[in-house]
Amino acid sequence: MHFINTAGGRGWRSPVRRVSVLAGVAVAMQLGTAPARAIDVDAGDYTALPAGTNLGLLYYQHAQRDRVYAGGNKVAGGNLDSDVGILRYVRFMEVGGFTIDPQFLLPFGKLRATDNLSALGSASGVGDLILASTVWLVDQPGKKRYLGITPFLFVPTGSYDQNRPLNLGEHRWKFTLQAGYITPLASKVTLDLVADVTVFGNNSKYGPSSATLRQDALAQGQGWLRYHFTERFDVRGGLSYAFGGETSVDGASRDDRTNTSKFSLGLAWFPTPTFQVLGTYGRDISVRNGPMENLRFNLRLLKVF
């Protein structure tokens, strides 16, 4: 099944179209909310810390979506909301002269569809476990310059019910390779650049009929600028663009290639030397296929020990 455009992208012509739209939204929600469409980063994530440092992090991410697009046209309204938390632990160490940071991330939360999309229902539970470790190829704390490469492995351990349209888990393996670079542009201005590519395993239990869901590689580029008022407080702004990731079900293309841009604004503050509070607000700028986020609020608490 795939999205079908109507004139001007308004409404749908039959119950079959409504089912198609709902099915497409279900795929987009399942593939794009735990913890994000791709691997979104916060500015400063690619800062290497001394070996022996531990980080404990807790995330809260709230997102609202009030419209659905297909081929650049709005095809449905309604509300799709998600409240997702993430537990994360990071350990910095040195191996062979390189700084690395083995870590895990465990998402959990709830998805809700209401109004015109209420047929999708809701889902809650645990997302897929994520294992990762950055290797820093450039680690120059004196110059505040860093370059790291991070492989992410998504393990299909999350809550998944093939008879439900929405799920926190994806019932498939995923692998992402990401590179991040940090460099100062001026005494109080820092640039963060990040790029990644995600490849997907198949979900052979997609839907009640146990269809096979496949997905092409998904790429994303992100950029952040930070202005440091002090060593402990900064404001930041970021842009992101994701493309690719078209899906197919039992060999039938859904014609749902991602082409999404978004912006984020935020701040980060260390009230003590070992505790950080970080908050960002953002929304999608443009979406070609899938739900459009009209609001995203992320909160991150970080403890160094």
Which CATH number covers residue 277?
A: 2.40.128.130
Is 190 within the bounds of a domain? Answer: yes
Residue whose pair of structure tokens reads 């440091």 in the numeric block: 228
Is 226 within the bounds of a domain? Answer: yes
- pLDDT given for residue 104 in this prediction: 98
**Percent of the residues in the chain that have a pLDDT greater than 90, as a whole number:** 84
**Percent of the residues in the chain that have a pLDDT greater than 70, as a whole number:** 88
pTM (predicted TM-score): 0.88
**pLDDT tens figures, 99-153:** 999 999 999 999 999 988 888 899 999 999 999 999 999 999 999 999 999 999 9
Mean predicted lDDT score pLDDT of the chain: 90
The type of residue at 142 is G
Is 126 within the bounds of a domain? Answer: yes
Is 32 within the bounds of a domain? Answer: yes
CA–CA distances in Å: residue 82 to residues 24, 67, 110, 288: 17, 14, 6, 20
Is 34 within the bounds of a domain? Answer: yes
Q: Provide the residue range defining the domain that includes 92.
A: 7-304
In the chain, the number of structural domains is 1
Task: Give the number of other CB atoms < 10 A from CB of residue 12.
Answer: 16
Preceding omega of 107 cis (within 30 degrees of 0)? no
Is 1 within the bounds of a domain? Answer: no
Q: Provide the b/e sequence for 24-61 (b: ≥16 CB within 10 Å).
A: bbbbbbbbbbbbbbbbbbbbbbbbbeeeeeebebebeb
Query: Residue 223: CA atoms inside 13 Å, Cβ hemisphere, count?
Result: 4
Is 60 within the bounds of a domain? Answer: yes
Kind and range of the H or E run holding 122: strand 122-126
Is 2 within the bounds of a domain? Answer: no
Give the C-alpha separation, 192 to 144, whole Å: 11
Q: Residue 16 above 70 pLDDT?
A: no
CA–CA distances in Å: residue 262 to residues 97, 292, 293, 296: 37, 10, 9, 10
**pLDDT tens figures, 248-294:** 999 999 999 999 999 999 999 999 999 999 999 999 999 999 999 99
Q: Alpha carbon 292 to chain centroid distance? A: 14
- pLDDT given for residue 28 in this prediction: 57
The type of residue at 52 is G
